[in-house]
Structure 1
Amino acid sequence: MDLNYSDEQLLLKESAERFLKERYNFEKRGKIIGSETGLDAGIWVEMADLGWLALPFAEENGGLGGGQVEISLIMEAIGRVLMVEPYLASVILAGGMVEKLGSEEQRAKILGGLMAGTSRPALAHAERQMGFDLGNIATTATKNGGEFLILGEKMLVPGGPFADVFLVSARVEGALKLFAVPADASGMIRTEVKLVDGSRASDLVLDNVSVPASALLGAAADTLAEIEAAYDRANAALASEAVGIMDALMDATVAHTKERVQFGKPLAAFQALQHRMAEMAVKCQEARASALLATLSVDAPRAMRVRGVSGARAKIGKVSRVVAQEAIQLHGAMGFSEEMPIGAWFRRLYAIENSLGTTADHLKRYGEIIRDPVMLSGSLLRAPAHWSA
């Protein structure tokens, strides 16, 4: 298997890094986070013009037909600059669910607006009691003539403050289903929550919110399985974002130790610090390899997908903390100053480690999968000929 990037992928990687470096520096990010909206609508429209918002969607739906590898390149660049616009939430999570479960009309309306940069859907699935059991949902939708009444609460909805439509999971006679609910629907209360990394999410209260029957997505589909697959795609993307952050931390640390002088010599001249930075570099490469496996596993049968994605999240959760802590130590107290991005990268890695499943959650999920001797001993990228999901 050729694991090298194609010429088109290399071009995407270079253009994404160049665009975000020029248009999204650390100072601008600070202004966006401190603004009333917490989002730069102009950047979002530019991302649409560049084709990023259409990248993962099929050509028949108006998209560019890109895959998870292309998404990983965008997410690495996003990680480097700590972009807070809801690319993961709206494009990968919510957009992916609409493409998988939406009717032709729903895809045209929601995906069309998303790809044009005029709409930002958000997936509202997590609940307080859910933990990492994605099926533990208490929100209900009751049929009432030609409509459904949705009752329940959702917490920490990614991209929620910027959303114009929510994809709300709810139980209909015990079966988990998904509904497209306008953000201004009567009976829905949206409360903004600021997260540790400066980004924003929303808590939702739905008090008998009425939606038409046409708001239901994928009536006959296995919605829970599709949500799990969407979470895995998003987790693979988060792994790539973490790799971008770790590389940025590594580059900033090396540059700092070359410039900072102690006892008449740059810090980089001290062998003990060289060894510590060498260990950081090893951890970065371990994370990159794990993220690549996650990226290549998202379209595999479920067991292989879980092994690749949760294995990567568990590994990256461990090594990213080491890299972030070393970067802080080697910068000294100035690493936590608001004028430098080191602390912001540190906080974003912490947020990633606790998003869409914690490191412990993913380690447990990975462990359950590799109990199967076939999974434990088999190829990482090819399913055994005699085995199926």
Structure 2
Amino acid sequence: MDFEYTAEQQLLRDTLTDFLTARYGLEESRAAARTGAGWQPKIWHAFAEEVGILGASLPEDFGGSGGGPVETLIIAEALGAALVVEPFVDTVVVGAGLLRRAGGELAESLLHGVVSGEVITALAALEADSGYDLHRVGTTARRVGEEWVLDGAKVVVIAAPIATHLLVTARIPGTEGLSLFVVDPGAAGITMHAYRTIDERQAAELVLDGVRLPAGALLGSEGGADDSIDTARDEAIAAIAAEAVGAMRRVLAETVGYAKQRQQFGVPIASFQALQHRMVDMHLELEQAVAAAYLVTLKLGAEPAERTRAAAAAKVTVARAARLLGQEAVQLHGAMGMTEELSVGHFFKRLTAIQYEWGTADGHTARYAVLTDPR
């Protein structure tokens, strides 16, 4: 696959990599994730003001740089290599994508806020009995006078505890499709049970009990959000696939480096043929994941069925690679692999979580089978 970056894209990659190397240490980021707000607001604003990555893939009309999916891939890969916990995918990829497709005055205002770093979004879509199906939604929205009233519950809402705005899916009685609402996390009627995930991200369960919203809180048309939600899912899969690639590159490099230094029987363990074979297997899985991540990125502008096929294939390929590289890295490091002092254990947790974000490998295998069925 010929995938050459332009000079501007190479500059974006190098600038972000240099910034993360200088300013995003593992020890500091893990400490920030576990205490206080659970993230680093100063880093987030630096992403906006110093590096410009929050608007790199957004149109110039909203203050962005006019980039696209390739810029998102470059950014996500670099963030994955640094184990960044700040909600780039949740806000810039998912949230901004939904807002851009919805249009309207509120959406445009929020998009400007995303680019400046003032707006952080969290998509509240999954429910307790929905599995990973974003369309199995029991939350309802009904009109009462000039307002909307939301009732329901959402689970595993990543970034909700630090979000400035929630994007909540609901069904309006009398309409077939999903509707999408902008909700203030502090609105009356919302109960938020916040927690930290195994990979040090902030998440929450939400209960919405008679949450009253102004008429303008509806994004787009009533029941018209289904296609946008599907697109957001595929764009998110492309982004986390790139993030996983960045993490796996780092894991493989650290594992090979450790094997060259660690000695057993007076020689580096990297000289043992059996361990060489295992590291070659890691490299092959990584290269397949790279190809899958690049392919889905290039297919994001294709027609929906083709785009979703590429997303499903990427999710399955990346999940398999993430599992193998994460586990092998820990095993080849021995007992040290899961200690807090080494980065490998932290990468293992993130790669494990990625296997289940936006659907499982089994679920996407089934989706791919349906989309390729000639009948």
Which bracket does the TM-score occupy, shorter chain normalised? over 0.9
Which residue is equivalent to 2:232? 230
What is the CA distance between 1:148 and its match in structure 2?
0.6
1:360 to 350, 359, 362: 362
Q: Distance in 1 between matches of 2:319 and 2:44?
A: 29
What is the CA distance between 1:145 and its match in structure 2?
0.8
**Is residue 130–residue 136 contact of structure 1 (8 Å, CA) maintained in 2?**
yes
What is the CA distance between 1:219 and its match in structure 2?
1.3
**Is residue 169–residue 181 contact of structure 2 (8 Å, CA) maintained in 1?**
yes
Count of residues paired in the alignment:
372
SS, match of residue 172 in structure 1: coil
Which residue is equivalent to 1:253? 255
What is the CA distance between 1:245 and its match in structure 2?
0.9
What is the CA distance between 1:266 and its match in structure 2?
1.1
Query: Mind listing any 5+ residue stretches in structure 1 that lack a counterpart?
Result: 374-389
Q: Distance in 2 between matches of 1:136 and 1:199?
A: 25
**Is residue 62–residue 115 contact of structure 2 (8 Å, CA) maintained in 1?**
no
SS, match of residue 143 in structure 1: strand
SS, match of residue 326 in structure 1: helix
SS, match of residue 149 in structure 1: strand
**Is residue 29–residue 40 contact of structure 2 (8 Å, CA) maintained in 1?**
no
What is the CA distance between 1:274 and its match in structure 2?
1.6
- The amino acid that maps onto 1:337 is T
Q: Deviations over 1:131-163 (max 9, x none)?
A: 232211000011111111101111111111111
Which residue is equivalent to 1:386? none
Which residue is equivalent to 1:340? 342
**Is residue 99–residue 108 contact of structure 2 (8 Å, CA) maintained in 1?**
no
- The amino acid that maps onto 2:136 is N
Which residue is equivalent to 2:160? 160
SS, match of residue 157 in structure 2: strand
1:266 aligns with 2:268: yes
What is the CA distance between 1:48 and its match in structure 2?
0.5
SS, match of residue 126 in structure 1: coil
Q: Distance in 2 between matches of 1:107 and 1:169?
A: 15
Displaced runs of 4 or more, over 6 A: none
What is the CA distance between 1:2 and its match in structure 2?
4.8
Considering only aligned residues, what root-mean-square deviation do their CA atoms show, in Å? 1.4
What is the CA distance between 1:220 and its match in structure 2?
5.7
TM-score for the superposition, normalised by structure 2: 0.96
1:183 to 158, 182, 185: 185
- The amino acid that maps onto 2:62 is N
Q: Distance in 1 between matches of 2:223 and 2:23?
A: 41
Q: Deviations over 1:60-116 (max 9, x none)?
A: 22221111111011111111111111111111111111111031x213321122211
1:8 aligns with 2:5: no
Q: Distance in 2 between matches of 1:139 and 1:61?
A: 31
Moved more, 137-146 or 320-329: 320-329
Q: Distance in 1 between matches of 2:3 and 2:250?
A: 23
Which residue is equivalent to 1:205? 207
Q: Distance in 2 between matches of 1:89 and 1:133?
A: 18
**Is residue 79–residue 241 contact of structure 1 (8 Å, CA) maintained in 2?**
yes
Q: Distance in 2 between matches of 1:68 and 1:279?
A: 29
What is the CA distance between 1:221 and its match in structure 2?
7.0
Q: Distance in 2 between matches of 1:99 and 1:326?
A: 41
1:271-310 mapped onto 2 (5 Å cutoff)? 271-310=273-312
Which residue is equivalent to 1:325? 327
- The amino acid that maps onto 1:34 is R
Q: Distance in 2 between matches of 1:290 and 1:200?
A: 28
TM-score for the superposition, normalised by structure 1: 0.93
Q: Distance in 2 between matches of 1:300 and 1:241?
A: 22
Q: Distance in 2 between matches of 1:69 and 1:296?
A: 8
Q: Distance in 2 between matches of 1:289 and 1:217?
A: 35
Which residue is equivalent to 1:132? 132
Moved more, 337-346 or 320-329: 320-329
- The amino acid that maps onto 2:124 is A
Q: Distance in 2 between matches of 1:315 and 1:341?
A: 24
Q: Deviations over 1:329-376 (max 9, x none)?
A: 111010011100111111101101111111111111111112238xxx
What is the CA distance between 1:172 and its match in structure 2?
0.9
**Is residue 156–residue 193 contact of structure 1 (8 Å, CA) maintained in 2?**
no
What is the CA distance between 1:280 and its match in structure 2?
1.1
- The amino acid that maps onto 1:235 is I
Q: Distance in 1 between matches of 2:55 and 2:124?
A: 21
What is the CA distance between 1:199 and its match in structure 2?
1.1
**Is residue 134–residue 224 contact of structure 1 (8 Å, CA) maintained in 2?**
no
Q: Distance in 1 between matches of 2:46 and 2:14?
A: 16
**Is residue 287–residue 315 contact of structure 1 (8 Å, CA) maintained in 2?**
yes
1:7-86 mapped onto 2 (5 Å cutoff)? 7-49=7-49, 50-86=51-87
Identity %: 39
Query: Mind listing any 5+ residue stretches in structure 2 that lack a counterpart?
Result: none
Which residue is equivalent to 2:142? 142
- Describe the shift of the 1:40–1:352 C-alpha distance in structure 2 as closer, same or farther (beyond 3 A): same
Which residue is equivalent to 2:101? 100
